[in-house]
Amino acid sequence: MTQTVLQAKNLVRDYHVGGGLLTKARTVHAVKGVSFSVEKGKTLAIVGESGCGKSTLARIITLIDPATSGDLLIDGNKVDIAHSALTPEMRRKVQIVFQNPYGSLNPRQKIGDVLGEPLKINTDIPAAERRDRAMAMLKKVGLAPEHYNRYPHMFSGGQRQRIAIARALMLNPSLLVLDEPVSALDLSVQAQVLNLLADLQDEFQLTYVFISHDLSVVRYIADDVMVMYFGEAVEYGSRDAVFSDPKHSYTRTLFAATPRADVESIKARLAKKKAA
Amino acid sequence: MSNETATLPVEAKARSGAFGEFWHYFSMNHGAVLGLIVFVLLVLVAIFAPLIAPHLPNEQYRDALLTPPMWHEGGKSTFILGTDAVGRDMLSRLIYGARYSLFIGLVVVVFSLTSGIILGVLAGYFRGWVDTLIMRVMDIILAFPSLLLALVLVAILGPGLFNAMLAIAVVLQPHFARLTRAAVMAEKNREYVISAKVAGAGHLRLMAVTILPNCLAPLIVQATLSFSNAILEAAALGFLGMGAQPPTPEWGTMLAAAREFILRAPWVVTYPGLAILITVLAINLIGDGLRDAFDPKLKRS
Amino acid sequence: MPLLQIKNLCVSFDTSVGAFMAVKGIDMSIEPREVLAIVGESGSGKSVSMLAVMGLLPKTATVTADRMAFNGVDLLGLTGEQRRKIIGRDIAMIFQEPMASLNPCFTVGFQIEEVLRVHMGMDRAQRRARAIELMQQVGIAEPAERLGSYPHQMSGGQCQRVMIAIAIACNPKLLIADEPTTALDVTIQKQILDLLMRLQAEHGMGLIMITHNMGVVAETADRVIVQYKGRKMEEADVLSLFESPKSNYTKALLSALPDNATGDRLPTISDFALDPEGATA
């Protein structure tokens, strides 16, 4: 049984810049007609360098900003936040985890309140049950119930990212947008968080849109890969197809630029250095 | 990443008690601690004024007009700081005056802080025409010399302590609005705010619950400094006869009443002036200390 | 004679909750023309130890070492004045955030020429010529025109190139690069690493590369020091480090690389028994 959770058709996002007294208004095309779809329980990785429009796309998918044109379907329902108000049901379906674990948690909110807030706003679950659910979620992401009453600054970057993931899962979303979730983390912590994401995906049949610039992480976690370059999707296909046979020259440049940490490459480099 | 290597573990430990850390940085500023002590004494004096003051503030001792302080020639031990032109005890009037000064500071700060925060949050959160409208009005208020504007307002509303406080609050309020707006604009695009938005929080919740608590640090500093400013301006209005009216023992009004005796009986001018100076200085020192304690840039070094 | 030799370096910071030891007795040395990589995660003290060498730590830091010698000169015995003559001329450093390392108020040309004026005492025409030459060396097109640009008019990669130009302006014997490519995109990272390696070979500099990225280590280093929580875990030449890591921490780091994933879960640090001083926290 396959079920398409997210489908995007020809998404476009333009920004209008300037238009002040002295400057002429310009239009910047941040996303230029991108289409893709993700099935339930799968991971789509969106790869690209800074300024390629991947974060803009993330904000559109997460229903934070509207698309200028194009259709966005979540669980088969068309969503258009530019023209109609977002219903709480749709709001619950998509959640996001940000890159910077230090900026994404409110410094004045206890962890318990961070986790309880989505339930408090969107449901009329009583306080006691909110608390129970938050406790259960803390355990699920590898933290302990005694963390419930602490403030974000008492946690390390990796733990904060676990909290951010827990908050995103409180509303039982069907789609989770992960905007560079491990880029700011140390290597060993990165491995733990990636494992956690994989465990949660198995358990809840979650669908991920994983935005990253790190190809080795993408190769590890993704089912499908989309490469973006200046607002366009230059390459889109299954992970194996993209990694084994990149079609677009930019994808090849990207692969060539990624530092390789295997013994053969080191040997080759040292040999070349000796020869020079 | 590398920049954090040194500070991260330190910070994690240091912040374990938010208040403890705050006090650590605050207490490193000796001036601020001194200011705090003076301020606390002042508050105690104001609260227990009826117990401390040797006389009633408005009781006139007709046989002891313009008595000098007790250590001067002709001074009496019953009037420690001497008496004024109608024979009222200076010390008692100063003690009761502390009540007025602190009350003025508090009311003005509460007025201007609340209205400033509301306007500033609205402007910073919604931007666009709301922002333009609010901030241009603030600019106009700021364009007037503050005392002059307060005078005009009092002239319209009529002299009196309450109207003077209202006028001062209006004059001080743009500073709060500006500060709040700047802080809200900086916080508004932080990821935790977007996260709250994605969790479904509405405008009101985002403004009041999510953003505002994170903007308070600079506002507390500004509130302290405005407290002293309010006392100063109220004294100035009182001196000009537009604030508290005689026989209220307000320090500025006392100064005004004593103007003509400045050469003959310097104490009637000196002590109210000194009281204003000490109070304002103490509060400003506290404000500086608060600024140091709240400013993360200073902590790092 | 080693270019830089450090023995038993300790750095501690005064904090509101007592002293914090960031570096706990590190030994290292680098030969001329060598590329040494210092690898570690945040909190490993890798940047702090190099900042200690440069004398760039804040006043709250206490630096002690049995020996800290550059080119045979004991750095600890020098006065501030003497030390500043060496730093910036014979030892140069570049940082992670190229945008933040350049002063936004001045043109890049002014900032390059300032170094030349202070350390080399060149006159105006010489400085100008040398600045253009440096811009060419670091691969900036139209160097003469770009000298008049302000940092905000350039991209992150270009700013890092300017930082490198400033660093090599006085032909340093040792260049310390603190996470020079962490803030940059992969394709730009490749260009900057290539540039650094080319300059290192051309000028015969010693290069200390501080990084957390194992890929960058593999692509640049001759020798590697692995640091963890202020201590040295392992020191080896690059090939043997990747081929047969000795310490458990290095093993853990290497296996946490997603490239090396074998199953559908990555091994994490806790899967490895670490040294008593190691990563159990």
> What subunits touch chain B, counting only 3 or more CB pairs under 8 A?
A, C
Q: Please report which confidence band the pLDDT of residue B23 belongs to, taking 50, 70 and 90 as the band edges.
A: confident
Domain contains B66? no
Domain contains B15? no
pLDDT of residue A90: 85
Specify the number of domains making up chain B. Answer: 1
DSSP letter at B261 equals: G
Can you count the helices (H) and strands (E) in chain A?
10, 10
Position B7 pLDDT exceeds 60? no
Smallest CA–CA distance, residue C145 to chain B, in Å, is 33
Whole domain around residue C105: which residue ranges? 34-49+80-271
Domain contains B55? no
* B28 interface with C at CB cutoff 8 Å: no
Whole domain around residue B143: which residue ranges? 26-50+75-300
Position B17 pLDDT exceeds 80? no
The answer for A 105-144 residues in CB contact with B (under 8 A) is: 105-108, 117-118, 121-122
Domain contains B68? no
Position B8 pLDDT exceeds 80? no
Which residues of A fall within a CB distance of 8 Å from B199?
95, 117-118, 121-122, 167, 170-171
* A88 interface with B at CB cutoff 8 Å: yes
Domain contains B13? no
Number of inter-chain CB pairs under 8 A, B vs C: 54
Radius of gyration of chain A (CA): 20
Burial of C155 (C-beta count, 10 Å sphere; 0-12/13-18/19+): middle
pLDDT of residue B12: 43
Share of chain A above pLDDT 70, in %: 97
B215 → chain A, closest CA residue: A108
Domain contains C205? yes
- Rounded mean pLDDT of B53-61? 88
CATH code of the domain covering residue C158 = 3.40.50.300
- Rounded mean pLDDT of B57-78? 84
- Rounded mean pLDDT of B142-171? 90
- Out of C189, C218, C279, whose CB is closest to A266? C218
* A156 interface with B at CB cutoff 8 Å: yes
The answer to whether B1 contacts C60, with C-beta atoms less than 8 Å apart, is no
Q: Which residues are within 8 A (CB) of B90 and not within 5 positions of it... i.e. 6 or more apart?
A: B69, B79, B80, B81, B82, B83, B84, B267, B268, B271
Tens of pLDDT, residue by residue over B117-155, are 999 999 999 988 999 999 999 999 999 888 889 999 998
Domain contains C74? no
Q: Which residues are within 8 A (CB) of C20 and not within 5 positions of it... i.e. 6 or more apart?
A: B9, B10, B13, C12, C13
Q: Could you give the angle at the alpha carbon of A82 between the alpha carbons of A78 and A83, nearest 5°?
A: 75
Higher pLDDT, A253 or C264: A253
Tens of pLDDT, residue by residue over A37-77, are 999 999 999 998 888 888 889 999 998 888 889 899 998 88
Which residues of C fall within a CB distance of 8 Å from A249?
none
Q: Please report which confidence band the pLDDT of residue A242 belongs to, taking 50, 70 and 90 as the band edges.
A: very high
- Rounded mean pLDDT of B257-273? 86
Domain contains C176? yes
Which residues of B fall within a CB distance of 8 Å from A122?
199-200
The answer for C 162-181 residues in CB contact with A (under 8 A) is: none
Number of inter-chain CB pairs under 8 A, A vs C: 105
pLDDT of residue B299: 47
Domain contains C234? yes
Smallest CA–CA distance, residue A124 to chain B, in Å, is 13
Smallest CA–CA distance, residue B249 to chain A, in Å, is 43
Answer whether A93's CB lies under 8 Å from A173's CB.
Answer: yes
Specify the number of domains making up chain C. Answer: 1
Q: Which residues in chain C land under pLDDT 50?
A: 275-281
Helix (H, G, I), strand (E, B) or coil at C121: coil
Tell me how far apart the alpha carbons of residues A173 and A61 are, in angstroms, rounded to a whole number: 13
Which residues of B fall within a CB distance of 8 Å from A105?
192, 195
B210 → chain A, closest CA residue: A106
The domains of chain A, with CATH numbers, are: 4-275 (3.40.50.300)
Tens of pLDDT, residue by residue over A70-122, are 899 998 888 888 787 788 888 889 999 998 888 889 888 889 999 999 999 88
pLDDT of residue C272: 58
Domain contains B206? yes
pLDDT of residue A20: 62
Q: How many CB atoms lie within 10 A of CB A148?
A: 18
Position B14 pLDDT exceeds 70? no
Domain contains C23? no
Answer whether B65's CB lies under 8 Å from B87's CB.
Answer: yes
Calculate the average pLDDT of chain A.
88
CATH code of the domain covering residue B268 = 1.10.3720.10
Domain contains B83? yes
Domain contains B145? yes
The answer to whether B1 contacts C212, with C-beta atoms less than 8 Å apart, is yes
pLDDT of residue B6: 38
The answer to whether A106 contacts B11, with C-beta atoms less than 8 Å apart, is no
Which residues of B fall within a CB distance of 8 Å from C13?
6, 10
The answer to whether B5 contacts C22, with C-beta atoms less than 8 Å apart, is yes
Domain contains C175? yes
- Rounded mean pLDDT of A189-218? 91
DSSP letter at B5 equals: H
The answer to whether C212 contacts A187, with C-beta atoms less than 8 Å apart, is yes
pLDDT of residue B189: 87
pLDDT of residue A23: 65
